[in-house]
Amino acid sequence: MSRIFSRWLPGLLLTAALPVLAQDQTQAETPEYGPELQGFEYPYTVKHFAFESQGKSLQMGYMDIAAQGKVNGRSVVLMHGKNFCGATWDSSIKALSEAGYRVIAPDQIGFCTSSKPDHYQYSFQQLATNTQQLLKALGIQKATLLGHSTGGMLATRYALQYPDQVEQLALVNPIGLEDWKALGVPYLTVDQWYERELKVTAQGIHDYQRSTYYDGRWKPEFDRWVNMYAGLAKGPGKTAVAWNSALIYDMIFTQPVYYEFKDLKVPTLLLIGTSDTTAINKNIAPPEVKAKIGHYDVLGKQVAKLIPRSTLIEFPGMGHAPQMEEPAKFHQALLGWLNQTNTVP
């Protein structure tokens, strides 16, 4: 049995063993949240940044947390992943704030507490521009970026687009360490993604994340984040949520940053849980393609060689979100690098 298949097997067995009644009950118990995640409790006060983009009046939800303790005058901007929100950075916000950093955690347009426009041309350049406008409005001229998953692709694009406004770049299990379309992964149209997103359930999210993100493991505290995603997809704005999600998946698949890692000019940290197997559309890829994608234990090392000023920190046996799996271990590594890099001219 191949390595990939052995990692997927626990999730497949779990799904097969679940009675239909149990799945229906889980779906019935899932909370429903508004189209901008109304009803879900964030760890800190959510503010909204209003701006114009592509002829539309939009608002971006964000948290702005002041530095605590020995204030160092620096700011960190947190960029969430596709199935995550600013709220999922809760432990990182606390750790960074207590270490003296001002922390900004936005929800990108199309996600979580932010607008879900009916028509929007999604690109990482556009999301980077939106974020830069937010930071400018907050008076932040230069910041450290911390991007997770899809947020890692966005943080990379931001650092390429605004190199003079980025002090340091830290990427946590970023997707896009390989170009799936170039490797033979099938393309789904936006309409196909939309149909898939309309069928999202809490059980499906749980099973996918358990098998792909956490190498078959699960912790009770992860349930909150499953409900956050599922409640948004089940709520009164579900069609708008699904449509924006479909557009975002198309952006992720068709706009790789892989070929530009070599052009990054800022000190860059790769924080990699080596058991992660995330790869867009892996489930519909041919067996020979599926077997060669999503190997973060290999990808982290490969991409570290492409980035000129890179540092690689691996978390053996950890999955897609080491900052959530083992917060203390993760933040010790992150803060150690941030402080060390800050002392280098």
Q: Using an 8 Å Cβ cutoff, are 254 and 181 in contact?
A: yes
Domain that holds residue 270: 3-342
pLDDT in tens, the chain (345 residues): 222 222 222 333 333 333 333 344 445 589 999 999 999 999 999 999 999 999 999 999 999 999 998 999 999 999 999 999 999 999 999 999 999 999 999 999 999 999 999 999 999 999 999 999 999 999 999 999 999 999 999 999 999 999 999 999 999 999 999 999 999 999 999 999 999 999 999 999 999 999 989 989 999 999 999 999 999 999 999 999 999 999 999 999 999 999 999 999 999 999 999 999 999 999 999 999 999 999 999 999 999 999 999 999 999 999 999 999 999 999 999 999 999 876 544
CATH of the domain at 92: 3.40.50.1820
What's the pTM value of the predicted model, to 2 decimals?
0.91
User: What is the predicted pLDDT for the residue at 28?
Assistant: 55
Q: What is the DSSP string of 3-39?
A: HHHHHHHHHHHHHHHS-HHHHHHHHHHS----TT-TT
Q: What is the DSSP string of 297-336?
A: HHHHHHHHHHSTTEEEEEETT--S-HHHHSHHHHHHHHHH
Q: How many domains does the chain have?
A: 1
